[in-house]
Structure 1
Amino acid sequence: MTRFRFALALCVGAYPLITGLLYLWAPVLDDLPSWQVTLVIVPQMVFGMVFAVIPLVHRCLRGFATAPAR
């Protein structure tokens, strides 16, 4: 259950990150095929998750995301 709560908390952080990146890059990447858009977005998403979202989830949602299930 702890992994499920952690995954849920990460989804809450990943959604605005990927949405923001897509809106940010939309004017530049509009005419490219999906695989090229993904090639540009994924590295930023990974770094954003590793250096921002995951530490933020650990810090702010420690009790929810890491507490043992009862």
Structure 2
Amino acid sequence: MSNSPVARPAPSKHRLAALMLLVIYPFVTAILYVLMPLTEGWPIWARTLVLAPVMVSSIVYGIAPTLHRHLGWFILRQPRPARIRA
């Protein structure tokens, strides 16, 4: 009887970075298409001041948890789990 913890694979930062790029790039682009006409004539720092909180909260509360929930197996370098069909 051993009390050693179960070894978990180390997450792949390269895989996580690639997934984040694939999701966040189009999201940032879409937000910029909406934001640019609304902030025409604003200095870049002011546009960034509006964009940054939207992006950070979207990543922390939406994008990252969703990626981990649906693609955590890929980030952790594990085989894809079998789908349960109802």
Q: Of residues 36, 57, 65 in structure 1, which corresponds to 2:67?
A: 57
Tell me the TM-score normalised to structure 1 length: 0.84
Q: Which residue of 2 aligns with 1:30?
A: 40
RMSD: 1.5
Tell me the TM-score normalised to structure 2 length: 0.70
Looking at CA atoms only, which structure, 1 or 2, has the larger radius of gyration? 2
Deviations 1:24-65 (A, max 9, x none): 112111211111111110000000101111011101212212
Structure 2's unaligned 5+ residue stretches are 1-10, 79-86
Which consecutive aligned stretches of 4+ in structure 1 deviate over 3 angstroms post-superposition? none
Q: Which residue of 2 aligns with 1:19?
A: 29
